[in-house]
Amino acid sequence: MIIMMTAFVSQKKTRIIFFGDSITQAGANAGGYIKRVDSMCTAEGMADKYEFIGAGIGGNKVYDLYLRMESDVLAKEPDMVIIYIGVNDVWHKSSSGTGTDADKFERFYQAIIDRLKAKNIKIILCTPAAIGEKTDFSNPQDGDMNEYSNIIRRIAKKNELALVDLRKAFLDHNLRNNPDNKDRGILTTDRVHLNAKGNQLVAEEMWKVIKQAK
């Protein structure tokens, strides 16, 4: 008697947490960038390989992420964390006087990375896309947005981490598609939060990097 066996190796899915602010909170909704990453993944026949979890909370700054690491990230034992933060750290400076100093932004960002690394969790960083879509750098927060993006790029390099450079992707897209130098309506609804095209662009940029992540 011959017994034919097909081995189904029940491979554990790679669990990915998207860790961020209101943009990521909305990203978990229908049409949001996390849902779109999930769809891309399924369309490419990899639905059994990845699991996507949103962990975005409106108004969050880098130190808010640090405060809720244990409960919202580490407790869920992810294999990978995508950090997408920075808009409120810059924006709240002028809207309520409660933004984050550049040096402290870097310190808390590194502290988050250190704790994830200690658990051997893979990490992908993102630059904050936009507060205003004008392409001549005349959006009020462009100076800080460029500087805080520079900080994240440096952190990625120093820690040898993958980077989704959303700020660059948004600027490149707007240079091609925003000839009237509008401050919203191309990739965002309100200068910050993503419309359908914005969610799609973020999803595409992230999915490219997720697939390559070792």
Interaction site with its own copies (CB under 8 A): 63-64, 66-67, 92-101, 104, 107-108, 111, 132, 136-147, 150
Residues 6+ apart with CB under 8 A from 153: 127, 163, 165
Residue 163 — φ and ψ, nearest 5°? -130, 130
CA atoms of 186 and 123, how far apart (whole Å): 29
Q: Which one, 25 or 199, has the nearer CB to its own copies?
A: 25
Cβ at position 79, least distance to its own copies in Å: 25
> Of the two residues 131 and 201, which places its CB atom closer to its own copies in the complex?
131
CB 87 within 8 A of CB 23: yes
Q: Are 185 and 193 in contact (CB under 8 A)?
A: no
* Min dist. Cβ of residue 146 to its own copies (A): 4
Q: How far is the CB of 196 from its own copies (least distance, A)?
A: 26
Q: Smaller CB distance to its own copies: residue 107 or 197? A: 107
Using only C-alpha atoms, the chain has a radius of gyration, in whole angstroms, of 18
- Contact in structure between 105 and 112 (CB atoms under 8 Å): no
Q: How far is the CB of 140 from its own copies (least distance, A)?
A: 5
Residue number with CB closer to its own copies (19 or 108): 108
Nearer to its own copies, 49 or 154 (CB): 154
Give the C-alpha separation, 203 to 142, whole Å: 23
Least Å distance, CB 141 to its own copies, is 6
